[in-house]
Structure 1
Amino acid sequence: MRKVAVIGVGQTRFSGAQGKSLSELFAEAAFEALADAHIESKSVQALFVGNALGDFAEGQGMTPAFIADYIGAWNVPANRYDGACASASVAIRDAFLLVAAGVYDIVIAGGVERAASLGTPLATRTFAMFSDSRYEFPAGMTFPGVFALLAHRYAAVYGLPIEKLKEQMAQVSVQSYNHGMFNPKAHLKKSVTIPDVLKSFTVATPIQLHDCCPFSDGAAAVVVASEEAAKTLSPRPVFIAGAGQASSGPLASQGAYLPRLKARELSARQAYAMAGITPADIDVCELHDCFSIAGIIAAEGLGFFEQGKAGEAWLKGEADIGGKVAINPSGGLKSKGHPIGATGAAQVYEVVRQLRGEVEPERQVPEARIGMTDTLGGDGGTMVSLIFKRGW
């Protein structure tokens, strides 16, 4: 396999409902990524786009073909990826593998979604399609319910009083809000305290409003290139050092392992092995905190903290900049936002810029050299782990 680098990244602002189409949103992110890579659209040999809900948001299928036309990458292979919230990460992983295999030299990959434009009722219903539609959804299993169940399971397995777990979950959100305040592309910008979280209304006990990420519109894109191409185009390439992906069936079939998500642990293990590193080597991680309990479970599944101990680590500052590992300095899904098809690419956007030292000083991780992304699709159905290293 050839070495593969990310040489350009771009992201739109994440927000509530926007007036732009899916193609327009992705084009905005793509043109930023192309400019960052110092290449023109005609250099792109393939286009891979993560998108889960375009059919519902616009009544538009086959979006990547139209996006390719919008950005001037005419007649290239243009594929759509659907891994729910992990859609863009799946697209980037495939771009990495195909460039590594020598099929292409330069690919643009990422994702786009107009989740906020759907409105809350339809967005909630369509998100729920990524749990099991035959048995789970008819039983009322929307995603707040899924993660509320995981929170109760977590408390029971690790012997935590639910009020203590709620405090730990609140700190996850507080930290994300604190970083999102300084991210110009973040959806939510507000200062929130633990009491604010605990006083917010209950969505699905024990999850409260400030434990939940928002529905967002937005897009993000990355330019993936072979090492040889990167040498001529980028003075500061960030190499994709490891990649992993795994899947699971419905939540019920995962019961014996819960609250741990086995697909995540398998995916992370693949990525660590490919990169030749351990969790202790990660300086910065953008992980999937769609709900605060999801962040806690992810940090443990990735090997950063012992099982049952991540929430306490957040309270001690060990998951923050300057701690054991800097988690979600972008603000995470909680504050940055969650346009599901774009989320994984936005995580890569943040990690690449962190390794380059390009983010706002209030949230820059000092001397970051190795970064990781963790993206969850559905209720553990799709998991993707990507590891990045500075190339200079």
Structure 2
Amino acid sequence: MSEQVWIAGVGMTRFARHDGRGVPDLAAEAVREALADAGLERRHVEAAFFGNTTQGALQGQLMVGGQIALRGMGFERIPMYNVENACATGASALHLAADQVRAGAVDIALAVGSEKMNVADRDRTMAVFEGAYDVSDPAGLTASLTALGGEVDDAHAGRRSVFMDIYAAMARAHMRRFGTTQRQFAAVSAKNHRHSVHNPRAQHRKDFTVDEVLAARALSFPLTVPMCAPVTDGAAAVVVCGQRGLRRLVGRGRSVRVLANVAGTGVVRAQDAWEQHISGLLAGRAYERAGVGPQDIDVAELHDATAFGEIQQCELLGLCEPGAGGAAAEAGETALGGRIPVNPSGGLEAKGHPLGATGLAQVYELVQQLRGEAGVRQVSGARVALAENSGGFYGGEEAVAAITVLGA
């Protein structure tokens, strides 16, 4: 029988532009907070999984980044694994840590993600995203985007990563199929920025109206700047333990149960085969393992690298009907106080998106929610929470997705 898995402690830095700080320094802050939150010491950790996506390209640390960051803060002898899975890196590190505990290999494991993405040459940062699709087939990317979103003249649009073009093409496909409007994307963005005002660790804490989002600088249609995640530095960490590890905790009553964690890749499919999208396929598996359904989810943190991403994932995960995500956001159903609050942290659009830390930061927020410790952002009576973290692009959809279901 496999071990039950618990999240014993969480920590994260503020997500921001951290001039003068590097990947190891940011990681250390998050790890120290996670250990203190769990009531554990460094010596209790038996394995570590370190998530990072950009350090090789931006700082030249092509290998052993985790060993350098973690041994530098005093971790010794334990196995350390470096994890890269595009924007789903943080969730992947957590899933590997949880699997190690579930298998009984260790009692306590650490997952940490840390990124330093703001460097002097912004073009180098933007170039990092070019490595998250099949670089051997750039014509294939162009063909996929044209098939999804048609040909668009966006020569006038501002500087952006290629993933804003990818999300924009997917958004236009959604608009064409379901009648989703740009104003509905703006409603998602305004909602998440409103949530972020109450999150002291968010990169942006400015309230926007729907009209202000629409009037902001255009990127690739239908996206404007507030609809898109910023370039962010930051780190987050999660301490995972099994039953034996749980007995070591002083504050074990604050631990949160991992009901399910699943990850996967897509299938060969037609671009319009919505029912075969990677997140939809994984959602069924996650709900089955967790013993819950979408109707049981009280709060969710979804991968809104753009506002469209939140609408798409709400539908694929069954939190609303296909094609109804935009209307749900416009009606306030996904806001705090609504039927299913989504991204109370502010989401990637406002909280920030340091790629390797993002999935763990989602879990940080949900653990706070399930403990009843989220303050003004608290979802009343939250008992079951879901995080979806995805990244890369392949075959007309995300190259990887990861779903985590947590229970109080």
| TM-score, normalising length: structure 1 | 0.94
Contact 2:262–2:285, Cα closer than 8 Å, also in 1: yes
Structure 2 match to 1:57? 58
* One-letter identity of the residue aligned with 2:330: L
* One-letter identity of the residue aligned with 2:355: I
Q: Residues 226-237 of structure 1 correspond to what in structure 2 (within 5 A)?
A: 226-233=242-249, 234-237=252-255
Structure 2 match to 1:68? 70
> 5+ residue gaps in structure 2?
146-161
Q: Alpha carbons of 1:355 and 1:305: their partners in 2 closer, same or farther (altered >3 Å)? A: same
Contact 1:376–1:382, Cα closer than 8 Å, also in 2: yes
* One-letter identity of the residue aligned with 1:187: Q
CA distance in 2, matches of 1:257, 1:78: 41
Of 72-81 and 3-12, the range deviating more from structure 2: 72-81
* One-letter identity of the residue aligned with 1:32: E
Helix, strand or coil for the counterpart of 2:75? coil
CA distance in 2, matches of 1:13, 1:92: 20
CA distance in 2, matches of 1:364, 1:221: 21
CA distance in 2, matches of 1:254, 1:329: 33
Q: CA deviation at 1:116?
A: 2.4
Structure 2 match to 1:78? 80
Contact 2:301–2:388, Cα closer than 8 Å, also in 1: yes
Structure 1 match to 2:385? 371
CA distance in 2, matches of 1:308, 1:131: 27
Contact 2:9–2:240, Cα closer than 8 Å, also in 1: yes
Structure 2 match to 1:152? 172
CA distance in 2, matches of 1:20, 1:138: 38
Q: CA deviation at 1:17?
A: 4.1
Q: CA deviation at 1:261?
A: 6.8
Structure 1 match to 2:261? 243
* One-letter identity of the residue aligned with 1:91: A
> 5+ residue gaps in structure 1?
none
Q: Residues 1-392 of structure 1 correspond to what in structure 2 (within 5 A)?
A: 1-60=2-61, 61-117=63-119, 119-136=121-138, 142-158=162-178, 160=179, 165-233=181-249, 234-248=252-266, 254-257=269-272, 262-360=277-375, 362-379=376-393, 380-390=398-408
Helix, strand or coil for the counterpart of 1:207? coil
CA distance in 2, matches of 1:119, 1:48: 29
Contact 1:9–1:221, Cα closer than 8 Å, also in 2: yes
Contact 1:150–1:258, Cα closer than 8 Å, also in 2: no
Helix, strand or coil for the counterpart of 2:288? helix
CA distance in 2, matches of 1:128, 1:238: 37
Q: Alpha carbons of 1:326 and 1:261: their partners in 2 closer, same or farther (altered >3 Å)? A: farther
Contact 2:184–2:330, Cα closer than 8 Å, also in 1: yes
Report how many residues are paired.
Answer: 382
| Deviations, residues 106-141 of structure 1 (Å, cap 9, x unaligned) | 001021111223653222211121122122378667
CA distance in 1, matches of 2:289, 2:65: 32
CA distance in 2, matches of 1:339, 1:179: 19
Q: What value does the CA root-mean-square deviation take over the aligned residues?
A: 1.7
Helix, strand or coil for the counterpart of 1:373? strand
Contact 2:18–2:234, Cα closer than 8 Å, also in 1: no
Contact 2:16–2:232, Cα closer than 8 Å, also in 1: yes
* One-letter identity of the residue aligned with 1:189: R
Q: Alpha carbons of 1:148 and 1:358: their partners in 2 closer, same or farther (altered >3 Å)? A: same
* One-letter identity of the residue aligned with 2:261: A
Contact 1:89–1:110, Cα closer than 8 Å, also in 2: no
Q: Alpha carbons of 1:13 and 1:254: their partners in 2 closer, same or farther (altered >3 Å)? A: farther
Helix, strand or coil for the counterpart of 2:355? coil
| Deviations, residues 224-274 of structure 1 (Å, cap 9, x unaligned) | 00023214412221010011111137xxx5543466772111222221111
| Deviations, residues 166-217 of structure 1 (Å, cap 9, x unaligned) | 1000010001101111101100111111111111121111111111110100
Contact 1:131–1:137, Cα closer than 8 Å, also in 2: no
CA distance in 2, matches of 1:48, 1:57: 21
* One-letter identity of the residue aligned with 1:373: A
Q: CA deviation at 1:376?
A: 0.8
Q: CA deviation at 1:155?
A: 1.0
Helix, strand or coil for the counterpart of 2:7? strand
| TM-score, normalising length: structure 2 | 0.90
Of 133-142 and 52-61, the range deviating more from structure 2: 133-142
CA distance in 2, matches of 1:68, 1:307: 43
Q: Alpha carbons of 1:41 and 1:375: their partners in 2 closer, same or farther (altered >3 Å)? A: same
Q: Alpha carbons of 1:137 and 1:64: their partners in 2 closer, same or farther (altered >3 Å)? A: farther
* One-letter identity of the residue aligned with 2:174: Y
Helix, strand or coil for the counterpart of 1:111? strand
Of 285-294 and 114-123, the range deviating more from structure 2: 114-123
Helix, strand or coil for the counterpart of 1:372? strand
Helix, strand or coil for the counterpart of 1:326? coil
